Amino acid sequence: MTAFSRSSLEELLKKRFFYAPSFQAYGGVAGFYDYGPPGCALQSNIIDLWRKHFVLEEEMLEMDGAIITLADVLKTSGHVDKFSDWMVKDVKTGDIFRADHLVENVIETRLDGDKQAGLMTENDATSQNDKKKKKGTVQAVKLDDATKAEYEEILAKANFNLQTNYEWELIFYIDNYTGKELGEIISKHNIKSPETGNDLTEPVEFNLMFESSIGPTGHLKGYLRPETAQGQFLNFKKFLEFNNDKMPFASASIGRSFRNEISPRSGLLRVREFTMAEIEHYVDPNNKKHARFDEVKDIKLSLLPRHIQSEGKTVPIELPIGEAVEKKIVDNETLGYFLARTHLFLTMLGIKYDRLRFRQHMPNEMAHYACDCWDAEIQSSYGWIECVGCADRSAYDLTVHTNRTKEKLIVRESLAEPLIYEKIVLEINKKIFGPKFRQNAKTVEDYLTNLNEEQLEALKKELEDGNGKTMVSCADGNQYEISSDFLTIQKQTITEHVREYIPNVIEPSFGIGRILYSLIEHVYWTREGDEQRAVLSFPPRVAPFKCLLVPLSNNPAFSELVRDLSSKLRKLHISIKVDDSSNSIGRRYSRNDELGTPFAITIDFQSVQDGTVTLRERDSTKQIREKTDTILQVLEDLVEEDVTWEEALIKYKQI
Amino acid sequence: MTAFSRSSLEELLKKRFFYAPSFQAYGGVAGFYDYGPPGCALQSNIIDLWRKHFVLEEEMLEMDGAIITLADVLKTSGHVDKFSDWMVKDVKTGDIFRADHLVENVIETRLDGDKQAGLMTENDATSQNDKKKKKGTVQAVKLDDATKAEYEEILAKANFNLQTNYEWELIFYIDNYTGKELGEIISKHNIKSPETGNDLTEPVEFNLMFESSIGPTGHLKGYLRPETAQGQFLNFKKFLEFNNDKMPFASASIGRSFRNEISPRSGLLRVREFTMAEIEHYVDPNNKKHARFDEVKDIKLSLLPRHIQSEGKTVPIELPIGEAVEKKIVDNETLGYFLARTHLFLTMLGIKYDRLRFRQHMPNEMAHYACDCWDAEIQSSYGWIECVGCADRSAYDLTVHTNRTKEKLIVRESLAEPLIYEKIVLEINKKIFGPKFRQNAKTVEDYLTNLNEEQLEALKKELEDGNGKTMVSCADGNQYEISSDFLTIQKQTITEHVREYIPNVIEPSFGIGRILYSLIEHVYWTREGDEQRAVLSFPPRVAPFKCLLVPLSNNPAFSELVRDLSSKLRKLHISIKVDDSSNSIGRRYSRNDELGTPFAITIDFQSVQDGTVTLRERDSTKQIREKTDTILQVLEDLVEEDVTWEEALIKYKQI
The CA distance from A599 to A631, in Å, is 11
- In the prediction, which pLDDT does B141 show? 83
**Mean pLDDT, to the nearest integer, of B384-402?**
94
Sign of CA dihedral A328, A330, A335, A338: negative
| pLDDT tens digits, one per residue of B243-272 | 999 999 999 999 999 999 888 888 999 999
Euclidean distance between the first and the last CA atom of chain B, given in angstroms as a whole number: 26
In a mutational test of the B interface, the residue from A45, A52, A63, A579 whose CB has the highest number of chain B CBs within 10 Å is A63
- In the prediction, which pLDDT does B161 show? 35
| B572 close to A (CB below 8 A) | no
Q: Provide the shortest C-alpha distance from residue A300 to chain B (in Å).
A: 23
So what's the architecture of B1-64+227-410+502-535 in CATH? 2-Layer Sandwich (3.30)
**Mean pLDDT, to the nearest integer, of A504-528?**
96
Respond yes or no on whether the N-terminal peptide bond of residue A363 is cis (omega within 30° of 0).
Answer: no
pLDDT confidence tier of residue A159, bands split at 50, 70 and 90: low
**Mean pLDDT, to the nearest integer, of B181-192?**
91
| pLDDT tens digits, one per residue of A505-514 | 999 999 999 9
Q: What's B480-519 look like in SS3?
A: EEEECCCEEEEEEEEEEEEEEECCEEEEEEEEHHHHHHHH
| B94 close to A (CB below 8 A) | yes
So what's the architecture of A86-206 in CATH? 2-Layer Sandwich (3.30)
- In the prediction, which pLDDT does A137 show? 56
CATH of B85-165+173-206, one of 3.40.50.2000, 3.20.20.70, 3.30.40.230, 3.10.20.520: 3.30.40.230
In a mutational test of the A interface, the residue from B53, B59, B232, B263 whose CB has the highest number of chain A CBs within 10 Å is B59
- In the prediction, which pLDDT does B101 show? 82
The CA distance from A502 to B395, in Å, is 58
CATH of A418-500, one of 3.30.460, 3.10.450, 3.30.720, 2.40.128: 3.30.720
Helix (H, G, I), strand (E, B) or coil at A240: helix
The CA distance from B330 to B374, in Å, is 9
- Using an 8 Å CB-CB cutoff, list chain A residues near B416: none
- In the prediction, which pLDDT does B92 show? 92
**Mean pLDDT, to the nearest integer, of A444-472?**
90
Q: Do the Cβ atoms of A239 and B39 come within 8 Å?
A: no
pLDDT confidence tier of residue B127, bands split at 50, 70 and 90: very low
Interfacial B residues in 165-204 facing A (CB < 8 Å): none
Q: How many helices (H) and strands (E) does chain A have?
A: 24, 28
The CA distance from B562 to B568, in Å, is 10
Helix (H, G, I), strand (E, B) or coil at A189: coil
Q: Do the Cβ atoms of A211 and B210 come within 8 Å?
A: no
Q: Do the Cβ atoms of A63 and B34 come within 8 Å?
A: yes
pLDDT confidence tier of residue A120, bands split at 50, 70 and 90: low
- Does residue A597 register a pLDDT over 90? yes
Nearest CA in chain B to A571: B57
Nearest CA in chain B to A65: B34
| B36 close to A (CB below 8 A) | yes
Q: Provide the shortest C-alpha distance from residue A566 to chain B (in Å).
A: 9
Q: Provide the shortest C-alpha distance from residue B139 to chain A (in Å).
A: 30
CB atoms within 10 A of CB A517: 25
| B73 close to A (CB below 8 A) | yes
The CA distance from B51 to A80, in Å, is 38
Interfacial A residues in 497-526 facing B (CB < 8 Å): none
Q: Do the Cβ atoms of B20 and A238 come within 8 Å?
A: yes
DSSP state letters, B241-304: HHTTT-SSEEEEEEEEEE---SS-BTGGGB-SEEEEEEEEEEEBTTB---TTHHHHTT-EEEEE
In a mutational test of the A interface, the residue from B17, B23, B410 whose CB has the highest number of chain A CBs within 10 Å is B23
Q: Do the Cβ atoms of A63 and B579 come within 8 Å?
A: no
| Residue among B586, B566, B582 nearest B574 (CA) | B566
DSSP state of B351: -
Q: Provide the shortest C-alpha distance from residue B428 to chain A (in Å).
A: 32
**Does B85-165+173-206 match B1-64+227-410+502-535 at the fold level?**
no
- Does residue B294 register a pLDDT over 80? yes
pLDDT averaged over every residue in chain B: 90
User: Which region holds residue B232: left if phi is over 0, alpha if psi is between -120 and 50, else beta?
Assistant: alpha
The CA distance from B7 to B201, in Å, is 35
The CA distance from B41 to B19, in Å, is 11
pLDDT confidence tier of residue A168, bands split at 50, 70 and 90: very low
The CA distance from A191 to A110, in Å, is 11
**Mean pLDDT, to the nearest integer, of B625-635?**
96
Q: Residue B631: phi, psi to the nearest 5?
A: -60, -40
Q: Do the Cβ atoms of A34 and B579 come within 8 Å?
A: no
- In the prediction, which pLDDT does B126 show? 46
| pLDDT tens digits, one per residue of B211-227 | 999 998 888 999 999 99
**Mean pLDDT, to the nearest integer, of A603-617?**
96
CB-based contacts of A616: which residues, under 8 Å, 6+ apart? A589, A599, A600, A601, A602, A622, A623
| A244 close to B (CB below 8 A) | yes
User: Which region holds residue A66: left if phi is over 0, alpha if psi is between -120 and 50, else beta?
Assistant: beta
| B65 close to A (CB below 8 A) | yes
Torsion (CA) B183, B186, B190, B192 in degrees, nearest 10: -110
Which class does domain B545-651 fall in? alpha beta
| A243 close to B (CB below 8 A) | no
Q: Provide the shortest C-alpha distance from residue A519 to chain B (in Å).
A: 18
- Using an 8 Å CB-CB cutoff, list chain A residues near B260: 214-216
Q: Do the Cβ atoms of A224 and B212 come within 8 Å?
A: yes
Nearest-CB residue to B216 (from A67, A96, A211):
A96
Q: Do the Cβ atoms of B63 and A37 come within 8 Å?
A: yes
Q: Do the Cβ atoms of B22 and A401 come within 8 Å?
A: no
Report in angstroms the alpha-carbon separations of B19 from A438, B43, B293.
Answer: 46, 11, 38
Q: Domain residue spans in chain B?
A: 1-64+227-410+502-535, 67-83+208-224, 85-165+173-206, 413-499, 545-651
- In the prediction, which pLDDT does B442 show? 87
- In the prediction, which pLDDT does A310 show? 87
Nearest-CB residue to A220 (from B29, B94, B212):
B29
CB-based contacts of B69: which residues, under 8 Å, 6+ apart? A22, A23, B222, B223, B224, B225, B230, B231
CB-based contacts of A380: which residues, under 8 Å, 6+ apart? A355, A517, A518, A521, A522
Interfacial B residues in 443-502 facing A (CB < 8 Å): none
| Residue among B487, B307, B301 nearest B377 (CA) | B301
- Using an 8 Å CB-CB cutoff, list chain A residues near B639: none
Size of interface A-B (CB pairs under 8 A): 222
| B258 close to A (CB below 8 A) | yes
- Using an 8 Å CB-CB cutoff, list chain B residues near A244: 579, 581
Q: Residue B341: phi, psi to the nearest 5?
A: -65, -35
pLDDT confidence tier of residue B589, bands split at 50, 70 and 90: very high
Q: Provide the shortest C-alpha distance from residue A141 to chain B (in Å).
A: 34
Instruction: Among A288-292, A493-497, B396-400, name the one with the lowest average pLDDT.
Output: A493-497
* ipTM value: 0.86
- In the prediction, which pLDDT does B176 show? 63
- Using an 8 Å CB-CB cutoff, list chain B residues near A33: 66
- Does residue A422 register a pLDDT over 60? yes
- Using an 8 Å CB-CB cutoff, list chain B residues near A275: 64
Q: Do the Cβ atoms of B67 and A234 come within 8 Å?
A: no
Interfacial A residues in 259-288 facing B (CB < 8 Å): 260, 262, 272-273, 275
